[in-house]
A and B are shown apart, each in its own frame.
Chain A
Amino acid sequence: MTSLVTAGARSRAFMTPYAFLLPALVVTAAVILFPVLQTAWMSLHDFVLFRPRDVPFIGLGNFERMWNDEVFWISLGHSFLWIALVVGFQFLLGLGAALLLNQSFWWRGLARSLVVVPWALPSVIIGLMWTWMYDFNVGVINDGLIRLGLISEPVAWLARPDTAFYAVIVALIWQGFPFFAVVVLAGLQTIPAELYEAAEIDGASRFQKLVYVTLPSISEVIATALLLRTIWVANSLDVILVMTGGGPGYATHTLPLYAFLKAYSGMEFGYGAALALVLTALLLVVVFVYVRRVAREIGR
């Protein structure tokens, strides 16, 4: 009798944490796991939305098609360049802004709030705003460059294959750098002042202080922010969609945009799902590194 009670209590104690976790697990399964499995299942079919009664199973047919699809390779190449340039420049700009905002000047409070504005704006607004700034006929960028004498006639920034991609990248860098600025700024404030004092006594220059004190102290923060941002940027398509819709030609196609266009314009959900799955697989590598870092930090 006694042993029975103890066994019951022990199993209850064992189950309790899982019972508490259950609601979260059920929700996660319903809104993440199930759609992922459904996407994987869909990618094995020739599922076209306006033919809901005729969905043949085609195995790896969609992936085979992708292998031979020129646009897939163009989009994939663009995606890598997109992530490298956007995340890289957002980081550099964010680091610079954070270092400036960490100085003391009388309107620092105002500057710190203003720098968050691009981050707080909805992506669609940012897309439209930059589209009009780049506009060939009435855009402020062409107007400014002509007045400064840097160009003699307006440039169709978003209509030229050699400029469109970089023009969109500039808009996205502008949108995302405040994230780095805020995260790095928070990191900077955790650095003990004694470290700088010690460096000063050793006769370190400003640059040496940055390289030997500041950056090592916030390297953890930077690494986490870079990983997180890579995942977001790799997935983002809203600004491109608004600014160029992927054009001119395929000049601004990235993988998520191509998957989106295939699914929602072509209504080829099967092929769109296959494209999205490849993107997910590539991103899982980054996610894996990120989750391991976070787990390690929690473990400490």
Chain B
Amino acid sequence: MTKENTTHRKGLGRRRFLQLAGAGALAAPFAGSFPAPAIAQEVTVRWWYHFDNPQHSPAELVAKFEKENPGIKIVAESIPWGGGNDYYTRLFAALVAGNAPDCAMVKLNNQARLVEMGALEPLDDMLKGWEARSDIAEDIWQLNRASDGKQYYLPLQYVVLYLYYRQDLFDQAGIAPPRSFDDFLKAAKALTKDGVYGFGMRGGAGGHDHWGPFVLGGGATFEKGGMVSEKALAANRWFVELGTKEKVFPPSAPTDGFRQIIDGFKAGRTAMTIHHVGSSNEMVEALGDKVSAVPVPRAPDGRGWTSFGDESNAIFSASPNKEAAFRWISFLSTAENNVAFNGFTGQLTVTTSGMADWKLHPKRFVTASEQSLAIAGVLPDSPKTADFVRTVWPTNMQRALLGQISPDEMMHAFEKHFHG
């Protein structure tokens, strides 16, 4: 009896459910037809970004954009950066899986890989009709252009690496900030004493920014044979010996990363280091007037090289909303919006009008950045560059600094990586 009852009740339940479902299915087309026009117009643009400070949010910019562009909804997704590895691993995986955002913040060292995948949408046609295009300096456009001549990247912000130095220690030693490699070596040797090291060198990932000014500036190139020319080998030997022979690097240099070089400099353990304007406020907070900056030193022949730290937005070719995505990324690169954006990232605006009245960093660091633009360069637009930066450079640099391989073997490894 009980069992029968249960079955009966269950049966009723199922029947009732079917009735309701049927009614729902019949009602659905009518329910959908009324609000449909508004929904059909609404376009959602998914955008990936990364800020170093997770407390910063682009919500205000999104709200402003959505107000100015009714019908476009921006879904801004914060993706962990993880030194670049986390971000790009997710991006490439999403692209291969067909679930990529419409647009995303991207850097030049991955442009070649993305182009090779056919993942990027050329922006040239859309840029023609964009009135704020000329507010971004021509050399920035130039640096961001792909090797096939197309413009896939819309510049968003930039930094240029320069030399931080301890004004007070230089004054005490009676020396001027270095302009040439010779000056640099003299200063580094003079300032290496009493537990202070002349140059806080970054040997961990990202440290190619410290190696570039001396070795690429000293004559090495990424062309075939460019790493193993006499000039290149000599420049690299000189640089490695700063650590192994002259001992002006702290012993921790082989694995020091961003945090270590900045904290070592702030703590007074190093007298010089190389980084960009993004760390200037932190430096001033710790050291006040004792810290200043100049462009990185130049080679004996007057050549120089420093890293141009780029950040752009790109649109993916698989996006169904390219037009709306372009409106969003061009909005972010327009004068006051771009200035507001750089407020979150601590970098420099790409717009000339925004730069005119810059308040985010002390003047001397902005000047050092601007003076460095003349020698600013980027690593080659090659699918092999990203792996060079992430593993090949650090591993070989570390082994050379530790005497496991010779400086020349290190350069041969680079040559082999790029040219087989």
Contact = CB atoms under 8 A, between A and B. Distances in A.
Interface of A: 49-53, 135-138, 153-156, 158-161, 164, 244-250, 261, 264-267
Contacts of A249: 254, 395, 398-399, 402, 404
A49 B116 CA distance: 11
A227 to B, nearest CB: 32
Given A138-B267, A159-B252, A249-B399, A265 B96 contact: no
A153 B197 CA distance: 13
Nearest to B383: A50
Contacts of B85: 264-265
Contacts, number: 98
B260 interface: yes
Interface stretch (B29-37, B219-227, B338-346, B386-394): B386-394
B255 A164 contact: yes
Interface of B: 85, 89, 92-93, 96, 113-114, 116-118, 195, 203-205, 250-256, 260, 263-264, 267, 269, 383, 386-387, 390-391, 394-395, 398-399, 401-402, 404
Contacts of A247: 204, 254-255, 394-395, 398
B398 A248 contact: yes
Contacts of A49: 92-93, 96
B322 to A, nearest CB: 21
Contact of B255 (A52, A138, A159, A267): A159
B387 A156 contact: no
Nearest to B92: A49
Contacts of A158: 252, 255
8 contacts: A136-B260, A156-B255, A159-B256, A246-B395, A248-B398, A248-B399, A248-B401, A267-B113
Contacts of B267: 137-138
Nearest to A136: B252
A246 B395 CA distance: 9
Given A156-B251, A159-B256, A138 B387 contact: no
Given A137-B269, A265-B85, A266-B391, A52 B251 contact: no
B404 A161 contact: yes
Given A137-B250, A248-B399, A261 B117 contact: no
A138 B263 contact: yes
Contacts of A246: 391, 395
Contacts of A53: 118
A50 B116 contact: yes
B264 A159 contact: no
A245 B204 contact: yes
Contacts of B252: 135-137, 156, 158-159
A265 B398 contact: no
A153 B203 CA distance: 21
The 4 lowest CB-CB distance pairs between A and B, nearest first, are A136-B252, A156-B252, A50-B113, A249-B399
Contacts of A160: 251, 402
Contacts of A154: 251
Contact of A136 (B89, B96, B250): B250
A137 B251 contact: no
A53 B96 CA distance: 10
Contacts of A137: 250, 252, 260, 263-264, 267, 269
A65 to B, nearest CB: 14
Contacts of A267: 92, 113, 386-387
Given A154-B251, A159-B253, A266-B387, 8 more contacts: A49-B96, A52-B96, A135-B252, A159-B251, A246-B395, A247-B204, A247-B254, A248-B399
B394 A245 contact: yes
Contacts of B253: 156, 159
B250 A156 contact: yes
Contact of B260 (A135, A164, A248, A265): A135
B269 A248 contact: no
B205 A245 contact: yes
B310 to A, nearest CB: 19
Nearest to A250: B395
A30 B186 CA distance: 64
Contacts of A51: 116-117, 383
B413 to A, nearest CB: 11
Contacts of B89: 264
A230 B117 CA distance: 40
Nearest to A142: B252
A43 B313 CA distance: 34
Contacts of A161: 402, 404
B155 to A, nearest CB: 23
Nearest to B255: A159
A52 B117 contact: yes
A177 to B, nearest CB: 26
A244 B204 CA distance: 8
Interface centre among B96, B255, B263, B390 (most CB of A within 10 A): B255
B254 A248 contact: yes
A19 to B, nearest CB: 21
